[in-house]
Structure 1
């Protein structure tokens, strides 16, 4: 049986032109890195600016008089009281309290919202929301028509403002503007990202992405802007303590175990998974950050021990270029989670010492 053909975003030829090393990812061919390499790309985002193709992400429009009621039942966060142009993050849970996906919802108006979901989960998510919709609402998967570019870093806004008007870019974090003019096309600009840096994500018609990419590269050439791939996207999000679906959360891990309680509004009348999450409170296991003490790099799926007893397993791990530390996240027994205490992680038969810390290893200065 032949493998399913990988999909390509409209920026595929652009990535090849810029020297992107293409790899399979979530059913797509995406650049893992460019000529500069992961470390240089990571540092560019932390100190200047970097640009990512995130057109593989999924976009689902939720529309109708009962749109808000559906979102509030499907998602653990509360979407009441949002202003037009606001964005809000949330886990979406199954009946057992595990996470179907984590996503961001943008409010266009009282009867129209845009849900942006993970590429690997898009079809699963769309099936899930369709199976659980109620009342006067429609869900439409528009992923194939939408291109998305993430421009991230302290100079991101400065670069973007060379191409759009000043009021096109929201001042607040987690906000968006619709129908902005950029390179002769209408775009949505949101102050969101997955790097822990200041920055924006720009949504456009898929076919316009190459033109907008080139315009941004030109606008950013004096600011040190470089293209970045999946490798730097992962090291940046881990350094900033941002969870990744399939690692820090999945269908068997609850939001509270993943330390996402702030996004779980237990005072809402109901949502899918609420009863199960209540039953699993307080959680028996919790996420923790690990900072390597001494030598070694920890990766995912490695056993964690304290005083010779296995207490959990790592979910992500790498060497973070900006903070110059080897770090990891792990899901461990809640009663063994004591910040500042030492643990050991089994790395290919060798025990590597690490210290339990908060999982946000880097936080940008406001």
Structure 2
């Protein structure tokens, strides 16, 4: 297994480790619930250095990006980030990612750890432009400091006015007197905060400083378990679960980042235009379970007559709501809020109701 520069730190903290996307990663340090609620109420610190970082630069960097991205990267200004996905040529999704416009003709793309090589190969085969593609995933570490008190903690160790960075924008500044760190007002938790992109050699120093300076704000190191429950409460898609090579972004509720009106052609554009105009047969929904059992990925979704109509893509016991929640695909005709469905387990059918996403409303800080 690969390791991040913080692996020894995690082990010293007593983290429960497991393999994820080929990396030895912390699942939790105390409990998933405790870490989850720390992010919702105070502040948590995640090591997500397994994520991939590509750079596209050159005179035709934007043209290449427009060909492979579902979103309209021409709208980005320097210092802004944008969520998107790579469409394949069959109406599915290669991966989802975030684009950062670093300079006029230089972009950073942050991709999922499990798809680094796959994504790189996909962009490379599309590169018929005067643009250079570089994979620097092994050179960069990534920390996510998330929660309503993240600004308080981060402000102690940087001269950058992080409270002035708008959502989905970033600044390049210093942290712990280390320069040229990308400080991004982004995250995967829904509770606000920042992501820090920095060189591997500096990450232990900054992790230790954030943990030390955040004691007054009750900062807690958090693992991938809480990262998953936090994103699920927000209804965020996870690659390999809600979205994959066969999933339509229109079915997955990602029409808002599928910019079929941009002038440039991109993969599967015609497919998505047709789906937007004529609709799709199924839809990703969130549901609450009226039971104490958790709806596991792969469980069948049934209608009131117990006919199989869909499948669960993610499920958990919500730490914020203290009830089981999940997401899955159902026919569009059954996707309305308040619709009763069943989740079929080995021994029984759990009663559930489709609900509006996100499951949890977060007050802005």
Stretches of structure 2 lacking an aligned partner (at least 5 in a row): none
| Correspondence for 1:18 | 13
Deviation at 1:184, TM superposition (A): 3.0
Deviation at 1:335, TM superposition (A): 1.8
| Correspondence for 2:288 | 291
Stretches of structure 1 lacking an aligned partner (at least 5 in a row): 1-5
Take 1:181 and 1:38, find their aligned partners in 2: how far apart are those partners? 28
Q: Is the 8 A contact 1:306 1:342 kept in 2?
A: yes
| Correspondence for 2:228 | 234
Take 1:296 and 1:302, find their aligned partners in 2: how far apart are those partners? 12
Take 1:96 and 1:334, find their aligned partners in 2: how far apart are those partners? 21
| Correspondence for 1:316 | 314
| Correspondence for 1:3 | none
Take 2:122 and 2:361, find their aligned partners in 1: how far apart are those partners? 34
| Correspondence for 1:29 | 24
Deviation at 1:363, TM superposition (A): 2.2
Take 2:162 and 2:92, find their aligned partners in 1: how far apart are those partners? 37
Q: Is the 8 A contact 1:170 1:190 kept in 2?
A: no
| Correspondence for 1:273 | 268
1:56 aligns with 2:50: yes
Deviation at 1:188, TM superposition (A): 0.8
Deviation at 1:179, TM superposition (A): 4.1
SS in 1 for 2:75: coil
SS in 1 for 2:215: coil
Q: Is the 8 A contact 1:103 1:115 kept in 2?
A: yes
Q: Is the 8 A contact 2:52 2:110 kept in 1?
A: yes
Deviation at 1:180, TM superposition (A): 2.9
Take 1:179 and 1:321, find their aligned partners in 2: how far apart are those partners? 35
Cα shift readout 1:292-349 (whole Å, capped 9, x = no counterpart): 1233211111110112221110100000101222100011111221210110010223
Q: Is the 8 A contact 2:172 2:183 kept in 1?
A: yes
Q: Is the 8 A contact 1:304 1:312 kept in 2?
A: yes
| Correspondence for 1:83 | 77
Deviation at 1:171, TM superposition (A): 2.6
Take 1:179 and 1:295, find their aligned partners in 2: how far apart are those partners? 47
Matches within 5 A, 1:85-104: 85-104=79-98
So what's the TM-score if we normalise by structure 1?
Answer: 0.96
| Correspondence for 2:359 | 361
Which segment is superposed worse, 277-286 or 184-193? Answer: 277-286
| Correspondence for 1:208 | 202
| Number of corresponding residues | 360
Take 1:179 and 1:70, find their aligned partners in 2: how far apart are those partners? 28
State which of 149, 154, 162 in structure 2 corresponds to 1:155.
149
State which of 91, 108, 119 in structure 1 corresponds to 2:113.
119
Take 1:13 and 1:294, find their aligned partners in 2: how far apart are those partners? 40
State which of 57, 62, 73 in structure 2 corresponds to 1:68.
62
Cα shift readout 1:172-195 (whole Å, capped 9, x = no counterpart): 100111243534343110000000
Take 2:152 and 2:358, find their aligned partners in 1: how far apart are those partners? 26
Which segment is superposed worse, 25-34 or 276-285? Answer: 276-285
Deviation at 1:170, TM superposition (A): 4.3
Cα shift readout 1:48-81 (whole Å, capped 9, x = no counterpart): 0000000000000010111111111111110113
Take 1:77 and 1:99, find their aligned partners in 2: how far apart are those partners? 13
Take 1:328 and 1:292, find their aligned partners in 2: how far apart are those partners? 8
Q: Is the 8 A contact 1:168 1:180 kept in 2?
A: no
Deviation at 1:241, TM superposition (A): 1.1
Tell me the C-alpha RMSD between the 2 structures: 1.2
SS in 1 for 2:138: helix
Deviation at 1:271, TM superposition (A): 1.1
